[in-house]
Amino acid sequence: MSEVEAPSTETTSVSTSTTSTTSTPSPSTSRFSFKNIFSKHSKKDSGDTHQSSTNLKEKESKESKRKSKSYKRTQSLENFSKSPSTSENNIQSPDNAAANTQQTPTTPPTTTTTIDTVPITMIAPTGSLPNMSEVLSNGISLEGNDNNNNNNNEASSSSSSISSSNTSTPLTESTTSTPSELVTPQNSTSSLMKQSPQGADSVTTNNNRRSWSEQLDSDKENFVNDLNEQSVLSHPSFCEPSRVKRIKVANVTIIFNPMSGSKIGEKIMVEAKKYFEVHGIKVHVIPTEYKGHAEVLCRTLDIEGIDVVCLVGGDGTIHEAVNGIMKRDPESRERFVMACLPAGTGNSFVLELQGKLSIKHVCERVVNGLTVPIDIAKVTIVGKSKISAECSRRKLEYNTLKKKFAHVNLDASTLSSSQEAGRRSIQAYRQIRPDALMEYGSTLSNQFNSSNGIDRAPSSSDLGTDSITEGGEQNNADDSTPEPIYCFNSLHWGLGSKVNITAEKMRWMGKAVRYTTAALLELCRGERILARIEYEDANGEVTALEDEFCLAIVNNIQGAAKGMKMAPKAKLNDGLIDLILVKSHKTFDLMNIFTKVYDGTHTELDYVIYKQVKRFSITPFKKDKERKKRLRKEKKRIKAAIKAGREHSKNPLEILKTECNTILSELEDQIDEEIIDIDGELKGQTPFVCEMIPRSVRVVV
């Protein structure tokens, strides 16, 4: 029996004796095994035992490593959500971390001890702890961290709680516990690369192993020394250091949009708040609670004692804030200082203003307190009815002029030659020609400015005196004139706004796909729009173009999305609007623009008009084949009349009359109302007047 049982017992005995001291076999079995089997299998067994022992060791080691790895992963995930104090325990100094990293291969794979010594910095390839600079610099890369975003969003429902709970958080705790530090440099770089090529510069892997306080102190010294007025002089987006002012920053109000971009507004706000508090600045935090809230806040905020209002959001949030600021009374508008922390999708304005999309960088600049006022464009939407009234006024002027000239013989006696007569007639026509929008827009604008700053929409009484009908009566302008819309960044008419409108209809496709699809669709469609575009250049000369256009882009900054150099000459404080008009509608030509827009050479194409203007207006006409035919016929007739005038000294007033009447009647009936895109928002419509209000909003630079 014992012989029969031996093999199984023997196996057990071998394995137990070589691998474990915990399992104790019965003495009899053990003895029996050795006695009967040792002689037979001693050699083989010893080899097997050794082999088996090695295998087991390897297995255990592997298992242990696997466990260790999985624990590391768990630990890192846990640390994302751990409170600062908890996660701090797991974080070692860089030196210790390095030491532990070296030890790892030789350390017995006992799970618990290994895990305790695994430095969390192993997750980051640099092996060093990210510091405050990195945390803030990499702020934008938080976008990719959905877990954390979600966690924070859940916690972000109340503004007051955010404000109070974070006030007392010490810097070291917060920085070691913020998820941003766990973002690997690769991740953060790629994220920023996606944002813009310039943005990528702001991400550098910091191998510096100085302590927190050392790093912070040196940061402080550097930025205070670096940023002086000279930096504004050399800033590519400022033409002169006009009205540069350094302010002392002791109180900051942060307005953050929790919904902008990939909902990272709150996270960035927390980072910025900590940074300011470390620098001894008092911080008050207000979240936006609904669409349009940033405008209300910036219009009504009591800025007494507030040095800088720091906006955390995308272009939409800044647009709202600018509209609020512009509607303040002039004195408090002048005292309002705005800073923008990028938390949106595009952030092209912040990139241009600050040079990079780094949270730390913008925070530094806020603390430094250097400010410059920037231009803001004012868009006045002019209703069709208003233009009709204006046209009537012009008709009246024309009739008066006609009466005045009735007794004058403009033929040979007054004018030296018939050719001169023709030339004069054209000049006279240009003077009398109903530049309705420009004229109307400036009337409205003057009325705004002369009354209560520029914070009020015109009322019927503002318009009454100017709106005279042909019969000389007062024309009661209606009260429906919308408030002006202020634009800090860009405006699109034509193709640009149509892409947005089409993309809106394709929401089911998802954000990225629908914009590309809409752009391709509109590019292929390449619609031509007959429009009258008038502009006044820097010297005050007014030019009117009547042609078919495909699109108009207005830019206050040089750049646009994805590193495009849309308006190469644009400056933020030159008082001029950069107006880009594209006349061709052909798909190839439009694609050609896209290939050249990255270095700004698209402005040299012969179907692109690039002007720097003080104001301009756009009046598109309805697509009406019959009307176009009539207009062409009329133009031919006018041309022929001018020719006839040259040849037969025809009274130029006749020509003038024909031209004016044609234009006036066309204006009244055919003006088209198309939606335009202001700062990325589909708001406002044609016809409109846009004028630059120089140096209107003071920003941190």
Ligand X SMILES: Nc1ncnc2c1ncn2[C@@H]1O[C@H](COP(=O)(O)OP(=O)(O)OP(=O)(O)O)[C@@H](O)[C@H]1O
Interface residue with ligand X among 183, 227, 259, 609 (CB under 6 A) is 259
Q: Between residues 179 and 313, which has the closer beta carbon with respect to ligand X?
A: 313
**320 touching ligand X, by CB under 6 A:** yes
Minimum gap (Å) between residue 682 Cβ and ligand X? 11
Q: Which of 82, 365, 145, 136 is nearest to 270 (CA)?
A: 136
Minimum gap (Å) between residue 460 Cβ and ligand X? 31
Residues 44-63 contacting ligand X, CB under 6 A: none
Distance CA 518, CA 393 (A): 42
Residues 3-42 contacting ligand X, CB under 6 A: none
**Number of residues engaging ligand X in binding (CB under 6 A):** 22
Q: Between residues 133 and 145, which has the closer beta carbon with respect to ligand X?
A: 145
Omega within 30 of 0 (cis) for the link into 652: no
Interface residue with ligand X among 314, 355, 494, 496 (CB under 6 A) is 314
Q: Between residues 199 and 313, which has the closer beta carbon with respect to ligand X?
A: 313
Cβ atoms within 10 A of the Cβ of 24, count?
A: 9
**315 touching ligand X, by CB under 6 A:** yes
Can you spell out the DSSP letters for 104-133?
A: TTTS---HHHHHHH--GGGGSTT-S---HH
Residue count of the chain:
701
Q: Between residues 355 and 458, which has the closer beta carbon with respect to ligand X?
A: 355
Distance CA 309, CA 417 (A): 66
| Exposure b/e, 574-591, CB count within 10 A at least 16 = b | bebbbbbbbbbbeeebbe
Interface mask toward ligand X for 80-119; x: CB under 6 A: ----------------------------------------
Minimum gap (Å) between residue 533 Cβ and ligand X? 27
Minimum gap (Å) between residue 366 Cβ and ligand X? 18
Interface mask toward ligand X for 337-376; x: CB under 6 A: -------xxxx-----------------------------
Tell how strand 608-620 and strand 688-700 pair up. Answer: antiparallel
Q: Between residues 346 and 645, which has the closer beta carbon with respect to ligand X?
A: 346
Minimum gap (Å) between residue 169 Cβ and ligand X? 24
Q: Between residues 320 and 578, which has the closer beta carbon with respect to ligand X?
A: 320
Distance CA 638, CA 635 (A): 5
Q: Evaluate whether 497 touches 529 at the Cβ level (below 8 Å).
A: no
Q: Between residues 160 and 431, which has the closer beta carbon with respect to ligand X?
A: 160
Minimum gap (Å) between residue 256 Cβ and ligand X? 9
Minimum gap (Å) between residue 258 Cβ and ligand X? 6
| Exposure b/e, 535-564, CB count within 10 A at least 16 = b | bbbeeeebeeeeeebbbbbbbbbbbbbebb
Minimum gap (Å) between residue 399 Cβ and ligand X? 48
**490 touching ligand X, by CB under 6 A:** no
Beta bridge partners of 474: 468
Can you spell out the DSSP letters for 36-80?
A: HHHHHHHHHHHHHHHHHHHHHHHHHHHHHHHHHHHHHHHHHHHHH
Helix (H) or strand (E) holding 252: strand 251-256
Contacts of 18 (CB under 8 A, 6+ apart): 49, 52, 53
**139 touching ligand X, by CB under 6 A:** no
Minimum gap (Å) between residue 489 Cβ and ligand X? 9
Interface residue with ligand X among 139, 179, 313, 355 (CB under 6 A) is 313
Interface residue with ligand X among 178, 189, 317, 649 (CB under 6 A) is 317
**143 touching ligand X, by CB under 6 A:** no
Q: Which of 314-322, 366-374, 462-470, 648-656 is the region at the interface with ligand X (rule: CB under 6 A)? A: 314-322
Minimum gap (Å) between residue 295 Cβ and ligand X? 8
Cβ atoms within 10 A of the Cβ of 643, count?
A: 12
Minimum gap (Å) between residue 263 Cβ and ligand X? 9
**683 touching ligand X, by CB under 6 A:** no
Q: Between residues 359 and 576, which has the closer beta carbon with respect to ligand X?
A: 359
Helix, strand and coil percent figures for the chain, each rounded to 5: 55, 15, 30
Minimum gap (Å) between residue 559 Cβ and ligand X? 13
Specify the residue for token string 């199984």: 8
Q: Which of 16-24, 257-265, 441-449, 549-557 is the region at the interface with ligand X (rule: CB under 6 A)? A: 257-265
Distance CA 87, CA 94 (A): 15
Q: Evaluate whether 690 touches 617 at the Cβ level (below 8 Å).
A: yes
Q: Evaluate whether 445 touches 380 at the Cβ level (below 8 Å).
A: yes
**257 touching ligand X, by CB under 6 A:** yes
Specify the residue for token string 């980072």: 271
Minimum gap (Å) between residue 354 Cβ and ligand X? 14
Minimum gap (Å) between residue 525 Cβ and ligand X? 25
**684 touching ligand X, by CB under 6 A:** no
Q: Evaluate whether 125 touches 183 at the Cβ level (below 8 Å).
A: no
Interface mask toward ligand X for 260-299; x: CB under 6 A: xx--------------------------xxxxxx------
Q: Between residues 315 and 534, which has the closer beta carbon with respect to ligand X?
A: 315
Minimum gap (Å) between residue 679 Cβ and ligand X? 8
**680 touching ligand X, by CB under 6 A:** yes
Distance CA 535, CA 382 (A): 16
Q: Between residues 121 and 500, which has the closer beta carbon with respect to ligand X?
A: 500
Q: Which of 325, 559, 305, 537 is nearest to 438 (CA)?
A: 537
Distance CA 421, CA 337 (A): 57
Q: Between residues 59 and 291, which has the closer beta carbon with respect to ligand X?
A: 291
Burial of 592 (0-12, 13-18, 19+ CB in 10 A): middle
Q: Between residues 281 and 676, which has the closer beta carbon with respect to ligand X?
A: 676
DSSP 139: G
Position of minimal CB gap to ligand X? 314
Interface mask toward ligand X for 625-664; x: CB under 6 A: ----------------------------------------
Q: Which residues bind ligand X (CB under 6 A)?
A: 257-261, 288-293, 313-317, 320, 344-347, 680
